[in-house]
Amino acid sequence: MREELLAFVSQRGTLLEPAAIEYLLSQSDPLGPLDRFLAACPEVPFVVTLQDVVKAADIGRSVAVRTRAEPLAPPPRPAPAAALLAPVLPVAASFRRQGEPAAQEEPDIRILRDITGRSTCEGTLEDFTRYFRNRFQTVSRMLRGRHEFGGAQDISRARRSTREVRFIGMVSDIRATKNGHRILELEDETDRISVLVLSDSASASETFVMDEVVGVVGKVNDRGLVIAESVVRPDVPGTKPFRGIREHVRAAFLSDIHVGSNTFLAEKWAKLTAWMSSDDEVARSLRYLVVSGDVVDGIGVFPRQDEELAIDDIYAQYEALAKMMAALPDHVSVVMIPGNHDAVRPAEPQPALPVPIQKLFDSNITFAGNPSLVSLHGVKVLAYHGRSMDDFVSTIPGMNYHRPLDAMREMLKMRHLAPIYGGKTPIAPEAEDHLIIDDVPDIFVTGHVHSVGVDTYRGVLLVNSSTWQAQTPYQKMRNIEPLPARLPIVDLATGVAAIKEF
Ligand code: D5M
Ligand code: FE
Ligand code: ZN
């Protein structure tokens, strides 16, 4: 139904606030209220808000009661996303009316965390030991901050206990038993232990992945096996409203431009450029543009890539991109991070694009690493290209390339961008694990999967930015249907997001 609803909205040339989407999906007839609301509008609004559809649904219900004498439906249940976004939905909030002309605001970009210039590893065995120790210690500290694990024991002590035990470990093996239970092998710096997660226990529905750090509450049986009562993720503490700023400046998000590929969508990009430079109120309120990797298609990234290239020189690809960026209006300041197609080392964390490439661009671009934590006007944005989603999709049942927000929620629960080591995501063993989500961001953005979406998780706004590349032969073979040329736009004052299609 979600797809049907979004297709309907896109057909009508408008946008739906995420909270409105959730609300409509909780209704028996999601399209009805929307249709009624649009029919009553003198002109198609830029964004349809939660309030708009709630009102339309109420009107619809009272009409139904009068004409069909049906029992009155229960009052509309506030959508979960609405609860999170509640403080950001003022009366008659219209995305269009709230924007401030961007030119009035000086840009304020600060890079809070980024590997660029700080890489120390050479990839030795000691580097790996140090890297995983740092991961374990950092995530353990987060778990110890939760009341259940304040007094967590070392695994070596927990093994000898006969009472309830609480400990923290890194997952080193996961296997299923023949009765449908699971056994997790957990390690800390002192020992390793086996944990049985029964198929009818509270944690049965959770999927665990290799190398993530979890806390366990359970009892050791006489064979030294822990029967888990619960297996706990560090997670994002509690639910908080979006921590916005005073000014209604807006940020837009894009990624996966793949300049140089013969499937790069030049016409769609031209439309984006024209719109951004137009007099449109939303366009004029854009102050920031976050570009989350795969900015060019690169050279030699996959076998026989040369057959799919329109520009087969890496510098020429970045030069073409630099021209495209220069054509964007001056009031938009850009933050750009690399992805797996860009001209930096493939291992994550990736540093910013090299200086000779940066020099091709205008000065209003800030280059940062992948991942980076960046403050835009005081709003903390965690930008990560999203390569690890390949590993989430291949490991976690039910995950797929069309649901990147599910993988992003898992990352926040695990407080790690790429927990799985040894999969498709190459990881450089830095002294500090830069892939840990240490500081909880206000906005978490990824690209890579060439899909699009916005949602919230525990007060963090999740954004997956779309692509400007049509379906590639590889994606066709794998049945991956991209959603190109969609631009998520976020009001930094309220966290209200919209997706504009080109
Ligand atoms: O990845 C774009 C999309 O295509 C993303 O959903 C992953 C998928 N993709 C691309 N190459 C592969 C391989 N080799 N294995 C699995 N999935 C893949 P991009 O980073 O733009 O190439
Ligand atoms: Fe890509
Ligand atoms: Zn990618």
Test site for ligand 1: of 263, 370, 420, 448, most ligand atoms within 8 A of the Cβ: 448
Whole-angstrom Cα distance, residue 322 to residue 417?
29
Ligand nearest to the CA of 385: 3
pLDDT value at residue 98: 67
**Does ligand 1 come within 6 angstroms of the Cβ of 449?**
yes
Lowest mean pLDDT of 48-57, 145-154, 283-292, 381-390, name the range. 48-57
Choice from 297, 464, 475, 477 to test ligand 1 binding pocket (greatest atom count within 8 A of CB): 475
Residues with CB under 5 A from ligand 3 (ion): 294, 339-340, 448
Q: What is the mean predicted confidence (pLDDT) over 426-443?
A: 96
Comparing 25 with 500, the larger pLDDT belongs to 500
Query: Which residues, in sequence order, are CB contacts of 154 under 8 Å at separation 6+?
Result: 167, 188, 189, 190, 191
347 Cα–ligand 3 center, Å: 13
Of 464 and 102, which is predicted with more confidence?
464
Question: When comparing pLDDT for 333 and 15, which is higher?
Answer: 333
Output the CA angle 50-249-8, nearest 5 degrees. Answer: 35
**pLDDT value of position 71:** 29
Q: Which amino acid is at 2?
A: R
pLDDT score at 103 = 64
Give the mean model confidence (pLDDT) for residues 199-219. 95
Q: Check if 474 has its Cβ closer than 6 Å to any atom of ligand 1.
A: yes
Handedness of CA 31, 34, 37, 38 (dihedral sign): negative
CATH architecture type of domain 145-232: Beta Barrel (2.40)
Tell me the best of 264, 350, 390 to mutate to test the pocket of ligand 1, counting ligand atoms within 8 Å of each CB and taking the most.
Answer: 390
Ligand 2: centre distance to CA 386 (Å): 9
* Residue whose CA is at the smallest distance from ligand 1 atom 5: 449
Residue closest via CA to ligand 1's atom 9 equals 475
CB 452 within 8 A of CB 436: no
Tell how strand 15-16 and strand 47-48 pair up: parallel
Structurally, at CATH architecture level, domain 102-120+248-497 sits in 4-Layer Sandwich (3.60)
Q: pLDDT tier at 200 (50, 70, 90 boundaries)?
A: very high
Q: Which ligand 1 atom is nearest residue 258's CA?
A: 21
Backbone angles phi, psi at 493, to 5 degrees: -80, -40
Ligand closest in space to the Cα of 393 = 1
**For residues 250 and 67, which has the higher predicted lDDT (pLDDT)?**
250
- Number of CB atoms found within 10 A of residue 419's CB: 29
457 within ligand 1 shell (Cβ under 6 A): no
Residue nearest to atom 6 of ligand 1 (CA): 449
Q: With a 6 A CB cut-off, is 288 part of the ligand 1 pocket? A: no
Residue 341 alpha carbon to ligand 3 centre in Å: 6
Q: In the chain, what percentage of residues exceed pLDDT 70?
A: 89
Question: Which ligand gives the minimal distance to the CA of 451?
Answer: 1
DSSP letters, 152-217, are PBPHHHHHH--SEEEEEEEEEEEEE-TTS-EEEEEE-SS-EEEEEE-TTSTTTT----TT-EEEEE
Q: Is the CB of 450 under 6 A from ligand 1?
A: yes
Ligand nearest to the CA of 474: 1
Q: How far is CA 406 from CA 132, 429, 454, in A?
A: 25, 27, 11
> To test the ligand 1 pocket, which listed residue (392, 394, 450) has its Cβ within 8 A of the most ligand atoms?
450
User: Is pLDDT above 90 for 77?
Assistant: no
Q: Does pLDDT of 476 surpass 80?
A: yes
The bound ligand whose nearest atom lies closest to the alpha carbon of 468 is: 2
Rounded to 5°, angle at Cα 166 from 161 and 171: 105
C-alpha of residue 469 to centroid of ligand 2, in Å: 8
Q: Which residue has the higher pLDDT, 81 or 109?
A: 109
* Res. 41 pLDDT band, cuts 50 70 90: low
- Using pLDDT thresholds of 50, 70 and 90, give the confidence band for residue 38: confident
pTM: 0.83
Domain residue ranges of the chain, discontinuous segments joined by +: 2-98, 102-120+248-497, 145-232
- Name the range with the highest mean pLDDT among 33-42, 200-209, 262-271: 262-271
When mean pLDDT is compared across 65-69, 193-197, 452-456, the lowest value belongs to: 65-69
Nearest-CA residue for ligand 1 atom 20 is 448
Predicted confidence band of residue 182 (pLDDT cuts 50, 70, 90): very high
Residue spans of alpha helices (H) in 327-374: 355-358
Query: Which pLDDT belongs to residue 192?
Result: 96
475 lines ligand 1 (CB under 6 A): yes
Given a cut of 90, is residue 2 above it in pLDDT? no
Residue 69 clears pLDDT 60, i.e. is over it: no
Give the per-residue pLDDT at 15: 77
Q: Which atom of ligand 1 is nearest to the CA of 394?
A: 16
Close Cβ partners of 432 (under 8 Å, ≥ 6 residues apart): 134, 138
Average pLDDT, the chain: 88
User: 102-120+248-497 with 145-232: one CATH topology?
Assistant: no
Average pLDDT over residues 131-137: 97
Q: Which atom of ligand 1 is nearest to the CA of 401?
A: 6
